[in-house]
Structures are given as structure tokens and as C-alpha cells.
Amino acid sequence: MTELLEELEEKRKRANSKAEKYKRLRDKLNSEAKSWVQKRDELNAQVRELIDQGNELKEERDRLNKEVQKAKKKRNEMNNLVRDCDHKLKKKKNELLPKEGPTVPQLEKDIRRLEFKQQTEVLKKEKEQELIDKISSIKQEINERKRVLEENEEIQKLKKGLKEAKAKAEEAHATVEEKAAKAQEKHEKMLKVFDEADKMRKKADEAQRKFVEAKVEADEYHQNHIEAVNEVQDYNKILFGLKKKKRMAKKRKDEEDTKDRAEILYEEFKKGEKLATEDIMVLQKAGLL
């Protein structure tokens, strides 16, 4: 039985060692899982913050795009007004200027041609004077036409209206470009923020994956730990029973040995032999005195 008890003690020791090992591994993995959960939650919080920021930028971009559309509409109105004013001005000029003959731009082109000829060709004095007189005559014609236009109140009013319309059209165009640039800036920032949110979300998903892996492995070690603990308890029960049985067997053997010795001592006592104190205690224990 001694060998059996030693073997069972060794097995219980090994089972207890396994239980402690699985417990350490389980606790380590649970600690890792807790860290990954914390990391995951931090990353998800950042994702939510970035998404909120991106949505705010999207709202600002959409608002600016609406303002761009309004500004474009205003610009189109101003461009139409410019065309209308320009058309009225040209129509009025055509009413005041000669219906036949060259236009002012054509006359100015003739002057440039004649002046170039005067500067580049060698002419006789009479021919050159004729050229000068012709240039002067054309200039007078141009000045006369300009004078007619400049002295006409309706022409001046139309020119002023055209100038104001062009200024408003340019202002409207500048507003379109300004708001469009701001909308594009918000759009680019929004894309950047959403891209960062996607990257952060991938990191959060990776943290979640590692949490699950650690948790699953920790649960496996926990199950192994429970099984090892149960094994230790089973060995404890067996050992307890065997040790109890061994003690009872020893007790019975001791009682039998005591009884046998007591009988021998009792026979000696009856013969009148002197007994030691220890021998008398043996007799008393056996119930013979």
C-alpha cells in the first residue's frame, strides 16, 4: 500500500502542478483580453469622434455647396444683365452711327495700316502728305463718332449700367469661386477624416479579433484548470480513503499485538512474576485488570 500511496501522491502533485500552470496561463490571457478590450473601446471612441467630425464637415460642405448654387444663379443673372446692357448699348450706337461705311474698329484698323505704311515705306512728299491727310481725316471721323456717342445721355446711361452690371457679375463670380474653394476645402478635410476613421476602425476590429482569440484561449485554459482541480480532488478522496484504511488496519494490528502481549503478561502475572508499570498499563488497556 505504501507504494500505491506514493504513486498516488506523485500523480496528485503532477495534477496540482498542471492546475497551477493552467491557472497562470488563464489569468495571463484574461489580462491580455482585458487590455485588448480597453484598446478596442478607446479606438472605437476615436472612430465615433472622427465620424462626428466628418459629419460636421459634410454638413458644412453641403451648406457651402448650396450657397455656391445660389451664387451661381446670381452670377448667371448678372451675366444675363451684362449681355442685355451690352445689347442695348450696341443697338443705341447703331441707331446713332452711320448705317453704311466702315465701323469705328475698321477705321482704327485702317489708321494702323496707314501709319505702318508711313513708317516703313519711302514716299514722295506729296504722297506722304496725302497719307497724313487721310489719317487725319479718318481720325476726325472717329472723333466725331465718339463725340456723338459721348454727348448722348442715353448712351452714357447705358454705358454706366453696363459697367455696373459687369462689376456685379465679377463680384458674383468672385463669390462663386470663394464659396466653391471653401466647399472643396471642407470636402477634402471630410475625406481625410473619414479615411482616418476607416483606418482607426480597422485597428479597433483587429483589437476585437485579438480579444476574442485571447478570451477563447483563456477559456480553454480555464476548462483545463477545472479538470486538473477535479483530478486533484479525486486523488485527495482516494488518498484520504486509503490512508484511513491504512490507519484502521494499523489500529487493528496494534490492538491485536497489544492483546497478544497482554495475554502473555497476564499469564506471567498469574504465576506471580513481578510486572513493570508499562506492562500493567498494557493489561489495563486490554481489560485484563
Predicted confidence at residue 20, as pLDDT, reads 93
Residue 286 has pLDDT above 70, yes or no: no
Q: Is 108 exposed, middle or buried (CB count within 10 Å of its CB: 0-12, 13-18, 19+)?
A: middle
Residues 282 and 258 sit within 8 Å (Cβ to Cβ): yes
Q: How far apart are CA 121 and CA 289, in angstroms?
A: 172
User: DSSP string spanning 158-172?
Assistant: HHHHHHHHHHHHHHH
Greater confidence, 101 or 162? 162
Calpha distance 152→32 (Å, rounded): 92
Interval 157-211: pLDDT, tens? 888 989 999 999 999 999 999 999 999 999 999 999 999 999 999 999 999 999 9
Is 247 a residue whose pLDDT tops 90?
no
- Other CB atoms closer than 10 Å to residue 241's CB: what's the count? 10
What per-residue confidence (pLDDT) applies to 56? 97
Give tens-digit pLDDT for 54-75.
Answer: 999 999 999 999 999 999 999 9
pLDDT band at 6 (very low <50, low <70, confident <90, very high): confident
C-alpha cell at 162: 453696363
What is residue 242's predicted lDDT score, i.e. its pLDDT?
75
Q: Do 71 and 172 meet the contact criterion of CB atoms below 8 Å apart?
A: yes
**Range 34-203: architecture per CATH:** Orthogonal Bundle (1.10)
CA 275 to chain centre: 98
Chain segment 12-35, per-residue pLDDT in tens: 888 889 999 999 999 999 999 999
